[in-house]
Chains A and B, each alone.
Chain A
Amino acid sequence: MAHIKLPEFEEMSSAIQDKARPILEKTGKLGDIFKLLAIDEKVYFATDGMIQKYLLDETTLSYEIKEAIALLISKENGCKMCVDVHKSIAKMLGLSEKKIEEILAGVESMNNSDKDKALLNFCIKASGKESYKILKEEIDALKEMGWSDVQIIEAVAITGYFNYINTLSNVFGLGE
């Protein structure tokens, strides 16, 4: 159970209710992370902006790479709730059950190109507390494999987003 009282739909601000209504109509329930963020409207909207722009919109990285980052970093950060939510989101965005299983077994288990695996391993390193030790050579190596500056920044921003959202979910004991 969450470490804090999570609000129900009726207790949320009307702006958040407008966002929640379609989800509630489609799935019949709201996730714990949605309810947690709804406690503070500015936190809800700032976070929703990032989810939409980084994960749900079409961007310079494929949904497969973006959801692989979501699953791998959430796992790395011990966020069970986020892993479960992203299993569902990855499926909704077109990833097969098989691919999701491969990702969760770790980068080396993935049937992807070396280029994809190098970016994902880089993201795992970027998510760690020793990210300040990363060298220019490591970024240059990704560029030599064909990743652009924008793709690398997007991948690190998504990694950083999971360092943010996993913090919120873990601290309040969601999904336990």
Chain B
Amino acid sequence: MAHIKLPEFEEMTPAIQEKLKPVLKITGNIGEISKLLAIDEKVYMATDAMAQGFLLNKTELSYEIKEAIALLISEENGCKMCVGLHKTIAKALGLSEKKIEEISAGVESMNNHDNEKALLNFCIKASRKDNYKILKEEIDALKDMGWSDVQVIEAVAITGYFNYINTLSNVFGLGE
């Protein structure tokens, strides 16, 4: 159970209710993370903008890579709730059950190109507390493999987003 009282739909602000109405209609329920964020409207809206802009919109990276980052970093940060939720989101964005299982087994188990595995391993390193040790050579290596500056920044921003959202979910004991 969450470490804090989570609001139900009726207790949320009208602006948040507007955002969640379609979710409620399609899935019949609202996830714990949405309820947690809904306690503070500015936190809800700022987080929603990031999730939309980075993960749900079509961007420079494929949905497969973005959801692989989501699953791998959430696992790395011990966020069970986020891993569970992103298995569902990854499926909704077109990833197969098989691919999701591969990702969950770790980068080396994935049947992907070496350049994709290199980017994902880089993101795992970037998520860690000693990320200040990362060298220019490591970023240059990704670029030599064909990744652009914008793709590398997007990948690190998504990694950072999970360092943010995993913090919120873990601290309030969601999904336990």
Contact = CB atoms under 8 A, between A and B. Distances in A.
A152 interface: yes
A134 B149 contact: no
A59 B42 contact: yes
B149 A163 contact: no
B173 interface: yes
B168 A54 contact: no
Contact of B40 (A150, A163, A172): A150
B139 A54 contact: no
Interface in B116-166: 126-132, 134-136, 139, 149-150, 152-154, 156-157, 159-161, 163-166
Given A3-B135, A139-B4, A171-B131, A164 B163 contact: yes
B161 to A, nearest CB: 6
Given A153-B39, A153-B43, A167 B156 contact: yes
Judged by DSSP, the binding face of B is: helix
A127 B156 contact: no
Contacts of B134: 3, 170-171, 173
B170 interface: yes
Residue of A136, A149, A160 with most chain B CB atoms under a 10 A cut-off = A160
A57 B39 contact: no
Contact of B163 (A50, A153, A160, A172): A160
Contact of A54 (B42, B49, B159, B166): B42
Interface stretch (A24-32, A39-47, A63-71, A101-109): A39-47
Contacts of B130: 78
B151 to A, nearest CB: 9
B168 A157 contact: yes
Interface residues of A, number: 51
Contacts of A4: 139, 149, 152-153
A152 to B, nearest CB: 7
A79 interface: yes
A165 to B, nearest CB: 7
Interface in B24-67: 36, 39-40, 42-43, 45-47, 49-50, 53-54, 57, 59-60
Given A43-B157, A159-B167, A172-B156, A167 B53 contact: no
Interface residues of B, number: 53
B173 A134 contact: yes
Contacts of A36: 153
A77 B53 CA distance: 25
Contacts of B149: 4-5, 39
B141 to A, nearest CB: 11
Interface string B58-95: 01100000000000000001111000000000000000
A4 B136 CA distance: 8
A54 B4 contact: no
B113 interface: no
A42 to B, nearest CB: 4
B54 A46 contact: yes
A3 B167 CA distance: 27
Contacts of A164: 157, 160-161, 163-164
Interface of A: 3-5, 36, 39-40, 42-43, 45-47, 49-50, 53-54, 57, 59-60, 77-79, 126-132, 134-136, 139, 149-150, 152-154, 156-157, 159-161, 163-165, 167-168, 170-173
